[in-house]
Structure 1
Amino acid sequence: MCSGSFAKCLGITLIPLAILCTLANILLFFPGGKTVDKNEDITDEVWYFGGLMGSGVLMIFPALVFLGLKNNDCCGCCGNESCGKRFAMFTSIIFAAVGLVGAGYSFIVSAVAIDRGPKCLTSEGYNYPFLSGNYLSNSTLWEVCEGPGDIVTWHLTLFSMLLIMGAVQVVLCAVQVINGLIGTICGDCCGCCGGDGPV
């Protein structure tokens, strides 16, 4: 498969992942599917925008670059038909690195949020009731959260989605770094300028 075509496939995969991560982060602003009176009652990690900025907005740029690599006009660069394609593949490595940083950030924020647990309403007001114990292995502890809604399940589901999608994005961007290196060194195996031969 051509390095440009392979990059396009990665871009097609990254777009829906970025959209889903953005939606998941937005939903986290409504803990348990409810609205809260004060912003400080929302879990702190939601405000770090891991899904919105990291796996969302920052991932759109690499995805669009990857999508455009197949159609990149590479002819006539410095009198060398493959020069433009090689430069485009090199540029994709830089954008893949940006994607790696964004997805990695989202992954770390999600992991911290899952480990820490949600901020929820308890008998003592809004706080983090699970800091002293492992609530993940003991669901009976969840009853300490009186609201809003089913906050613990909501928190775990959405941050787990962000964690998994962030990990997938990290892998895809890492794969594009390797693909970009191959494309930079060897050129696009499909050739360009109307398919006159390999570059």
Structure 2
Amino acid sequence: MGLQKCRGCLSCLLIPLALWSIVVNILLYFPNGKTSYATSNQLTNYVWYFEGICFSGVMMLLLAALLITLERDTFYQCCQSESCNKTYRSFISVVLALLGIAFSAYSVIISTLGLVQGPFCNTPAGWGYIFKDTAGGYLIEYSSWSRCTEPAHVVEWNIILFSILIALSGLQVIICFLKVMAELKQILCGTYSVFIQPGII
């Protein structure tokens, strides 16, 4: 019973993380709450990968819903044996959790690249990625942030939001990994009758 509760909680935890990922990714499109930069395409290119909206957001919501459905006792019986049915449900859950790891890992990678590259901003020399050659070194060079004059405080805006996306997606990776481990334990250690046909022994 404890393992079942643990597996159910892991799936449920994915829902708030996915919702927050969507919200944070949307905020990246509106520096300081202004829409003009999105409409004029004056945003960092990595926000257009929709990592928080699609991959660690909507796709994770769908996966979480499927995982929760699989854990319900009312789920469709795919075979006559109860242990067989639970094993196949666990196997499907493993596949879905592995997909979750792929989706959230993609979000971590894209958000990290966006953080390292730095924002697309206006400087006395014009619009551009003035920090892209620093390999992320600008993150600790606070004095250089003032070189971005527009949007105002865009460096802080990007750093905070991309860091939150990395944290949220990283938690999703961990949760999905734990889900895989829990389901594999259920398959390998929980039931053996699925591999033994009645009457053979």
TM-score (norm 2): 0.86
Matched, 1:174 2:180: no
Q: Deviations over 1:59-100 (max 9, x none)?
A: 112211232233234796543121111111110011101110
The within-5 A match list for 1:9-48 is 9-37=9-37, 38-48=39-49
* Higher-helix-fraction structure: 2
Describe the SS at the equivalent of 1:105.
Answer: helix
2:22–2:53: 8 Å Cα contact kept in structure 1?
Answer: yes
User: Could you tell me which residue of structure 1 aligns to residue 84 of structure 2?
Assistant: 83
Matched, 1:183 2:174: no
Q: Deviations over 1:14-49 (max 9, x none)?
A: 100000001111111112332235443111000011
Aligned length: 188
The within-5 A match list for 1:46-85 is 46-73=47-74, 78-85=79-86
AA matched with 2:18: A
Counterparts of 1:81 and 1:163, CA distance in 2: 40
Moved more, 69-78 or 139-148: 69-78
Kindly tell me: are residues 185 and 119 of structure 1, through their superposed partners in 2, closer, same or farther at Cα, counting changes over 3 Å? same
Kindly tell me: are residues 77 and 62 of structure 1, through their superposed partners in 2, closer, same or farther at Cα, counting changes over 3 Å? closer
Describe the SS at the equivalent of 1:41.
Answer: coil
Matched, 1:147 2:150: yes
User: Could you tell me which residue of structure 2 aligns to residue 191 of structure 1?
Assistant: none
Counterparts of 2:119 and 2:77, CA distance in 1: 57
AA matched with 1:122: T
Counterparts of 1:90 and 1:30, CA distance in 2: 41
Moved more, 8-17 or 119-128: 119-128
Kindly tell me: are residues 138 and 76 of structure 1, through their superposed partners in 2, closer, same or farther at Cα, counting changes over 3 Å? closer
Counterparts of 1:109 and 1:77, CA distance in 2: 38
The within-5 A match list for 1:188-199 is none
User: Could you tell me which residue of structure 2 aligns to residue 7 of structure 1?
Assistant: 7
Q: Deviations over 1:99-143 (max 9, x none)?
A: 101100000011101111010111222211112332111100000
Counterparts of 1:146 and 1:26, CA distance in 2: 22
Task: Name structure 2 gaps, 5 residues minimum.
Answer: 192-201
Counterparts of 2:78 and 2:109, CA distance in 1: 41
1:74–1:81: 8 Å Cα contact kept in structure 2?
Answer: no
User: Could you tell me which residue of structure 2 aligns to residue 157 of structure 1?
Assistant: 160
Counterparts of 1:184 and 1:101, CA distance in 2: 22
Query: Which portions of structure 1, spanning 4 or more consecutive aligned residues, are displaced by more than 6 angstroms?
Result: none
What is the alpha-carbon root mean square deviation over aligned residues? 1.9
Q: Kindly, what percent of the aligned residue pairs are identical?
A: 36
